[in-house]
Amino acid sequence: MTSMRDWMIWPDNIVLSVLVLVLIAMVGLYAVRAPMHGIIRTAAYALATALRLAARWLFAAAAAMKERNKAVLLAQGRREVGQRIEREFERVGILVTRDLQGYPVLQRKLLEAITRIEEDYKKCGEVPPPPPDWVEAVAAVAQIKSGGGEVVEKILDEIRQSVGRIHEKALGEYRRAYEERHDILEGALPFWRSIDATLKQVDKKMSDLAENAETVDEQMKKYRQIAAKTDEAESILSHSAFTQFNIAVIVLTIALGGAFVNFKLIALPMSEMVGAGDYITASLRTSEVAALVIILVEASMGLFLMEALRITHLFPRISNLSDRARRRMIWISLTLLVILASVEAALALMRDMLIADKQALLQSLAATAPAASSEGWVGRIPTAGQMVLGFILPFALAFVAIPLESFIHSARNIGGSMLADLIRMLGFALRVLGNLTRHLGRLLVHFYDLLVVLPLMVEHLVKSLRGGRAAVSRRRLDSTGELKS
Amino acid sequence: MNRRALWASLVILGLAVAAAGCVDPRSQSHAVYVLIDTSGTYAREAGKAQLIINYLLGTLQPGDSLAVARVQSRSFTEKDIIAKAIFDQRPSQANAQKRAFREKTDAFLRTVQGSAYTDITGGMIQGAEFLNETGAGKKTILVFSDMQEELDKVTIRNFPISLKNIRVIAVNVVKLNTDNIDPRRYLGRLEAWQKRVEGAGASEWKVINDLERLDAIFAKS
């Protein structure tokens, strides 16, 4: 084994030995200075180039991924908005069909009412016959002087009496005519009201239609933006995806809580069916796995039910089934769900019985008086509660399909977006590292020169001396005029 | 290609399920063999043994095994096993078995009679045999005794025994009058038993004198 002293030229004088060794090393390093500079520069350049290339590739990959994410996001958005527009059109269609179906009746009703009112109006316009022409004759008779004698007076009196009678008759006719017109007008009142109500109805339907049309317009605007692949549409959809993701995560967490309660309800009684001492792995009991499987089967049935009802669209094959097959599927999954829920309710009851049995055993082993159990319906509340929970939870779990679909769709966008960001960050880090490597190469070159500073100084001195002599000789040549630089 | 991938997936899944299903259920179960010393003055302590048995009945799970045997003048015999049970996998059946077990041990402990000698070693050999037969993953011998072995001249027990992978727990090791005079006798007795048990390959040796903390029986040291 070599020690430091073996390297010493003069073991007794370490300082001098080290100094000489350093000088030798300096000379050696100076001798290989140029190739070493080359090696350092080449290595740094190669590494920096590789890193920059990798960074550029990552940036390109991130850009491609972003583009792909955008395409997926826009496609999803287009599909969703398209479905919404479709639904709105369906709604408008139903509204229009329903109202247009009733429109001829409505129109007939309106026309009848208007005709009736017109007739009544015309009837109201019928004036009683004008007073007869003999009025003028009466006026002439009235101008006859009464001093004509008894006969004339008698005649005049008879004329007056008959005119009075005629007048009363005419007046009565006028009154009757006006009464009739009032009656007609009174009779027209319900028709006016009916027209008013009908018009209001029409107005309401028209405003509903207008509202729907507005919604369709909004959706169409959104659809156009998506189709145009605008940044605004992407931003809105991306924001919507984040919101959907968060909501789906919250709801799924709640559903997981429900599933855990469900699991606790059936894990113990399942041991009565598949045995409590059977293990699948060192710490995983078969009964627990069986309980978990039942819960997962329930969730799957719920998923199929939602798919068959076309509430979710995770399996295109199911939604593309014929209506008859879909209806069959609805009934099958619903029946299975009901059966599983009933099994769970029974298991919940069994769990209560097992716990009670175990409790009784422990009490008998502890030789203590049994705890006073609450008799009657109060004592049965927990059992009933467990059974109800056991029956309801599978149906509640069935609805997990809806947030699950949202989660899956939004997770694709969120995950893709995060991955693209991650790749971009990695690319940035590689680019920084590449630049650092390049600068490190330069730094190493300078550091190498620092190690051979003394030979370099000598070199500079020699060069400057040579340079000085050359300058002096050039000046001399200039002064003689023989040579000009 | 897709079909091949499907078949490969199915095979892998099948293997995984088979591997998962290969766990021997017995390896997760617990078997306990309780030795109750009925010799001499210790027979008076037998009542306390019921506490331990009750604790075990309350703690052991379906699929576990329990046996209670007495320690007499010569205990290497199945005749000394008072009650034994491998609890059913179904909890309700296991509870019924536990009730029956308790009645059996109750009846025995009410009529227990003292024996002239104490053959703890013979009981342990018998217990180890029983425990090994159960194939349980965790095996425990509980010795309810003062750990003072007394053998007649004919009985031979001074040979190496095997208690491999068995935990041995001495419970309620009461002090004898002579121990009170010289405590070194008591400590020496326990030390000798520890040496012997550990020498026989036992995985653990423990002494529990406080019957209030029986949970230490199943606690890992």
In this prediction, residues B173-192 reach a mean pLDDT of: 88
Helices (H), chain B: 2-21, 46-59, 91-110, 120-134, 177-181, 183-199
pLDDT digits (tens, 9 = 90+) for B12-67: 555 555 444 545 655 678 999 999 988 777 777 877 888 899 999 999 988 899 99
Domain presence at residue A177: yes
One domain, residues A96 and A156: yes
Q: What's the pTM? A: 0.64
Q: Do B58 and A278 touch (CB under 8 A)?
A: no
Helices (H), A228-285: 231-274
Say which range, A129-143, A247-261, A371-385, A435-449, has the weakest mean pLDDT: A129-143
Question: Residue A332: is its pLDDT beyond 50?
Answer: yes
One domain, residues A295 and A344: yes
- Check if the beta carbon of residue A351 is closer than 8 Å to that of residue B92: no
Query: What do you get for the CA distance between the two ends of chain B, in Å?
Result: 55
ipTM exceeding cut-off 0.85 for this assembly = no
One domain, residues A162 and A181: yes
Q: Do B61 and A277 touch (CB under 8 A)?
A: yes
From chain B residues 78-107, the ones with a CB under 8 A of any chain A CB are: 89-92, 94-95, 98-99, 102
Report residue A248's pLDDT band, with 50, 70 and 90 as the boundaries: very high
Reduced to 3 states (helix: H, G, I; strand: E, B; else coil), residue B99 is helix
For residue A417, give the nearest of A67, A60, A59, A55 by alpha carbon.
Answer: A67
One domain, residues A213 and A257: no
Q: Do A271 and B28 touch (CB under 8 A)?
A: no
Q: Locate the chain A residue with the closest alpha carbon to B100.
A: A361
Question: Residue A164: is its pLDDT beyond 60?
Answer: yes
- CB distance from B28 to chain A under 8 Å? yes
Q: What is the token pair recorded at A418?
A: 């995060």
One domain, residues A202 and A245: no
More confident residue, A185 or B32: B32
Containing domain of residue A285, as a range?
231-367+378-399
Which residue in A276, A279, A282 is closest to B91 by CB distance? A276
One domain, residues A319 and A345: yes
Q: Do B92 and A278 touch (CB under 8 A)?
A: no
Residues B170, B144: Cα–Cα separation, whole Å:
6
Residues A297, A336: Cα–Cα separation, whole Å:
10
Last residue of a domain, one of A198, A227, A256: A227
The predicted pLDDT at position B97 comes to: 94
Residues A282, B25: Cα–Cα separation, whole Å:
9
For residue B171, give the nearest of B207, B126, B203 by alpha carbon.
Answer: B207
Chain B interface, best mutation among A271, A273, A289, by max B CB count within 10 A = A271
Query: Structural domain boundaries of chain B?
Result: 28-217
- Check if the beta carbon of residue B163 is closer than 8 Å to that of residue B128: yes
pLDDT digits (tens, 9 = 90+) for A366-425: 765 555 555 677 778 888 888 998 999 999 988 999 999 989 988 888 898 899 999 999
**A·B CB contacts under 8 A:** 67
Q: Do B91 and A281 touch (CB under 8 A)?
A: no
- Check if the beta carbon of residue B159 is closer than 8 Å to that of residue B196: no
How does the average pLDDT of chain A come out, rounded? 83
- Check if the beta carbon of residue A301 is closer than 8 Å to that of residue A344: no
Domain presence at residue A49: no
The CATH number that domain B28-217 falls under is 3.40.50.410
More confident residue, A382 or A142: A382
One domain, residues A210 and A287: no
The predicted pLDDT at position B19 comes to: 47
Which long-range contacts (C-beta less than 8 Å, at least 24 apart) are formed by A337-341? Answer: A337/A298, A337/A301, A337/A302, A337/A305, A337/A394, A337/A395, A337/A398, A340/A294, A340/A297, A340/A298, A340/A301, A340/A394, A341/A298, A341/A390, A341/A391, A341/A392, A341/A393, A341/A394, A341/A395
More confident residue, B24 or B209: B209
- Check if the beta carbon of residue A290 is closer than 8 Å to that of residue A296: no
Secondary structure tally for chain A: helices H, strands E: 12, 0
Which residue in A281, A357, A366 is closest to B95 by CB distance? A357
Report residue A7's pLDDT band, with 50, 70 and 90 as the boundaries: confident
Residues B63, B25: Cα–Cα separation, whole Å:
8
One domain, residues A211 and A336: no
Say which range, A46-60, A326-340, A357-371, B2-16, has the weakest mean pLDDT: B2-16
Report residue A42's pLDDT band, with 50, 70 and 90 as the boundaries: very high
Chain A interface, best mutation among B92, B98, B104, B134, by max A CB count within 10 A = B92
With a pLDDT cut of 70, the percent of chain A lying above it is: 89
Give the HSE-up count for residue A207: Cα atoms under 13 Å, Cβ half-sphere.
5
Q: Do B89 and A362 touch (CB under 8 A)?
A: no
Q: How many domains is chain A built from?
A: 2
In this prediction, residues A452-456 reach a mean pLDDT of: 88
Q: Locate the chain B residue with the closest alpha carbon to A275.
A: B89
Domain presence at residue A5: no
DSSP readout, B30-41? EEEEEEEE-BGG
One domain, residues A287 and A354: yes
Q: CA A288, A293, A296, A298 torsion: positive or negative?
A: negative
Fill in the amino acid letter for B22: C
The predicted pLDDT at position A189 comes to: 78
DSSP readout, A452-470? THHHHHHHHHHHHHHHHHH
One domain, residues A209 and A331: no
Using an 8 Å CB-CB cutoff, list chain B residues near A287: none
Q: Residue A396, exposed/middle/buried by CB under 10 A (0-12, 13-18, 19+)?
A: middle
One domain, residues A235 and A349: yes
Domain presence at residue A272: yes
Residues B158, B164: Cα–Cα separation, whole Å:
18
In this prediction, residues A451-468 reach a mean pLDDT of: 87
Alpha-carbon distances of A382 from A390, A394, A482, B182, rounded to whole Å: 12, 19, 123, 60
Q: Do A277 and B25 touch (CB under 8 A)?
A: yes
For residue A229, give the nearest of A69, A367, A119 by alpha carbon.
Answer: A69
One domain, residues A169 and A77: yes
Chain A interface, best mutation among B54, B56, B103, by max A CB count within 10 A = B54
Residues A323, A336: Cα–Cα separation, whole Å:
20
State the nearest Cα–Cα gap between B93 and chain A, in angstroms.
Answer: 9
